[in-house]
Amino acid sequence: MSMTDKTPTYSQPVIAVVGHIDHGKTSLLDYIRKSRVAEKETGGITQRISAYEISHTTKEGAERDLTFIDTPGHEAFQKMRRRGASSADIAILVVAADDGVKPQTKEAWSAIQDAGIPCVVAFTKIDKESANLDRAKEAVLTEGIYLEGLGGSVPWTAVSSKTGDGIPDLLDLLVLVSDLEEVVCDPLKPARAVVIESARDPKIGISATVIVREGTLKTGAFAVAGTAWAPLRAIVSADGTREKELSCGKPAFLSGFSEEPEVGAELITVATKKEAEALAKEASVRPENVPQNLNEASEKVPIRIILKADTMGSIEALEFELEKVPAENADITIVSKSVGAVSENDVKTLSSFDNAIILAFGVGTDASAEDLAERQGVHIESRKIIYELTEWLTKEVETRAPGIPEEKILGRAKILKFFSNAGNKHVVGGRLEEGIIKKGSTVSIIRRDIPIGKGKIINMQSQKTDVDSISTEKQEFGAQIESRSDIAAGDIIEISTTIQNK
């Protein structure tokens, strides 16, 4: 099993915590870490991936370190959850004992299967009166997650983040799965890590949280992640300690990047700044990084958007959510996306476009940018909960791009005979072909499939009796129509209305 001439060492396992919104993922980690993170989250929803490191003493007395990735549970963060699973060695699928399987439970299970990593199911909230563990297990089995002791091989345990019941057993189970899976790495190989978060801060600049997946990350080298690069002057561990190096499975906080690394990007290290710049430049000219042409012709209403957020992970999640905004009549284009407060430059970028919007999530707006946006007609919408932004945009798109007007035919009749006319008033006999014809309606006059004019029905009679409308198909009637166009036998008159396509 050797990767190099030396025997590889067992790596600190990286564990992703995934599941449905409000099923207790963050609360579970809170108890493990003995912290109170869940109460600080806006809307009670974890809105970015965070990496934590703990030490656990097993029942056998062994001391083991574990790295946890806390992934968002709301639907908007599907991409971030998938990134979390693909960055991990093991997944904990959290299922609330009082709620069972929900949409994001299914999506999380799919992500685990796609990543090909082992899973432990944790049934949470067993302390609640409404908890029904047997029913929750049945729901899991129904989704094809076959539990140990119930005809399958997926290990599981029941826990309470309120009382701590079952949590030591869960940690022991994770250590066991890690040992059985033989999570190993070679610390002598070139360092390789995965970016799980990036952010911009006025004091420290652009930073990234990474998980070391191979080799050893060392100060003095240069890191490259896609189009971003940074000198590794300092490596900060999960507990805030400056380290000279960190090995496999360890979370690391790095700063000094040239731009925000993409969430999920692979990070490698090179010896020189020249190599780092060359690799970043090479990545920047790849097809996926070339901006699309904003001047292409389109029949849809163009809506140009800039995304601003507190982290790149949040931007990625926002992009995913925007893909679901109904936009049949709108051409929504993301002009740019970046971390940090809304600036004058952001407003200037959109100032030449109609229907220009800046969506800001979890960040402020510079005062000068607000003033300029008001003068330039650029709308800035800022929210602290991501799906509130997309709900707002959905309504805004409906307002700005209501649809292409379309004529809907309400009634059609054929002129059978022309009787007389006095001035612009024509007396005719007709037959209803479809729909309804009403007195007072404006009609289109059509001859040989070509519209030749408009008119208005002044009076109508059926069987010598005045009527307000005719709605029986093939019924004959007499009508006086006011029109500047001639009307002849064989012509068609139509009543229509204008509707907006959604």
- Give 340-372 pLDDT, tens digit per residue: 899 998 998 888 788 899 999 999 999 989 989
| 474, pLDDT greater than 50 | yes
Q: Name, of 75-79, 257-261, 401-405, 428-432, the range with top average pLDDT.
A: 428-432
pTM for the full predicted model: 0.60
CA dist 328 and 301 (Å) reads 10
The residue whose two tokens read 């002057």 is: 233
Same-domain pairing of 14 and 115 = yes
**170: three-class secondary structure by DSSP:** helix
Tell me if 430 sits within 8 A of 493, measured CB to CB: yes
pLDDT digits (tens, 9 = 90+) for 208-235: 999 998 899 999 999 999 899 999 999 9
> Is 43 or 175 the better-scoring residue by pLDDT?
175
- Asked which of 362, 383, 400 is the last residue of a domain, the reply is 400
The pLDDT of residue 45:
44
Confirm if 482 and 456 have CB atoms less than 8 A apart: yes
Does residue 50 or residue 204 have the better pLDDT? 204
CA 344 – CA 306 distance, rounded (Å) = 12
Q: Is residue 293 part of a domain?
A: no
Q: What is the pLDDT of residue 273?
A: 94
Number of domains present in the structure of the chain: 4
Which pLDDT band holds residue 84 (cuts at 50, 70, 90)? low
pLDDT for 246 beyond 80:
yes
Supply the pLDDT for residue 12: 87
Indicate the SS3 state at residue 418.
Answer: strand
Question: Is the pLDDT score of 485 beyond 70?
Answer: yes
For 287, half-sphere exposure in the C-beta direction (CA atoms, 13 angstrom radius) is 0
**Do 267 and 189 form a contact (C-beta atoms < 8 A)?**
no
Asked if residue 314 belongs to a domain, the reply is yes
The three-state secondary structure class of 368 is helix
Whole-number pLDDT of residue 296: 47
Q: How far apart are the first and last CA of the chain?
A: 60
Using the predicted structure, report yes or no on whether residue 71 has a pLDDT greater than 90: no
Question: Is the predicted pLDDT of residue 379 greater than 90, yes or no?
Answer: yes
Mean pLDDT of 79-99: 77
- 21 and 169 fall within a common domain: yes
**252 in the same domain as 394:** no
In a domain, 145, yes or no: yes
Question: Is residue 65 located within the same domain as residue 138?
Answer: yes
Specify which residues 184 forms β-bridges with: 10
Contacts of 57 (CB under 8 A, 6+ apart): 63, 64
In a domain, 462, yes or no: yes
Give 456 or 200, the one with higher predicted confidence: 456
The predicted pLDDT at position 72 comes to 58
Query: Is pLDDT at 43 greater than 80 in this prediction?
Result: no
Evaluate whether residue 450 is within a structural domain.
Answer: yes
Query: CA 14 to CA 67: how far, in whole Å?
Result: 5
- What is the model's pLDDT at position 499? 58
The DSSP annotation for 287-353 comes to: GGGSPPPTT---SSEEEEEEEEESBHHHHHHHHHHHTTS--TTEEEEEEEEEESSB-HHHHHHHTTS
CATH number at residue 384: 3.40.50.10050
What CA–CA distance (Å, rounded) separates 439 from 461? Answer: 10
Residues 103 and 212 in one domain: no
pLDDT bin (cut points 50, 70, 90) of residue 285 is low
Q: Provide the pLDDT confidence category of residue 298 given band limits of 50, 70 and 90.
A: low
pLDDT-derived band at 315, boundaries 50, 70, 90: confident
Q: What percent of the chain has pLDDT over 70?
A: 86
Q: Average pLDDT over the chain, rounded to whole?
A: 84
Task: Please report which confidence band the pLDDT of residue 402 belongs to, taking 50, 70 and 90 as the band edges.
Answer: low
Pick from 183, 218, 243: which residue ends a domain? 183
pLDDT of residue 462: 92
Secondary structure, 3-state, 250-283: CEEEEECCCCCCCCCCEEEEECCHHHHHHHHHHH
What pLDDT is stored for residue 170 in this prediction?
95
Q: Reply yes or no on whether the pLDDT at 159 is more than 90.
A: yes
Pair (249, 327) in one structural domain:
no
SS3 58: coil
Residue 77 above 50 pLDDT? no
Comparing 23 with 78, which gets the higher pLDDT?
Answer: 23
The domain in which residue 457 lies consists of 405-500
Contacts of 35 (CB under 8 A, 6+ apart): none
Both 38 and 158 in a single domain? yes
> Do residue 13 and residue 127 come from a single domain?
yes
Q: What is the pLDDT of residue 167?
A: 93
Q: Tell me, what CATH number does 56's domain have?
A: 3.40.50.300
pLDDT > 90? residue 7: no
Q: Indicate if 243 and 370 belong to the same structural domain.
A: no
Q: Are residues 223 and 74 in the same domain?
A: no
Does residue 433 fall inside a structural domain?
Answer: yes
Question: End of a domain among 183, 201, 224?
Answer: 183
Are residues 159 and 260 both part of a single domain?
no
pLDDT in tens, 403-437: 556 677 899 999 999 999 888 899 999 999 999 99
Helical H segments across 385-477, by residue range = 386-400
In a domain, 206, yes or no: yes
Domain CATH for 473: 2.40.30.10
Q: What's the confidence (pLDDT) of residue 299?
A: 64
- Confidence check: pLDDT of 83 > 80: no
**Model pLDDT for residues 321-345, shown as the tens digit of each residue:** 888 888 777 888 888 888 889 999 8
Residue 1 located in a structural domain: no
Flag whether pLDDT at 376 surpasses 50: yes
User: What's the confidence (pLDDT) of residue 81?
Assistant: 53
- Asked whether residue 174 carries a pLDDT value surpassing 50, the answer given is yes
Output the pLDDT for position 73: 47
Q: Do 233 and 201 share a structural domain?
A: yes
The rounded percent of the chain whose pLDDT value lies above 90 is 40
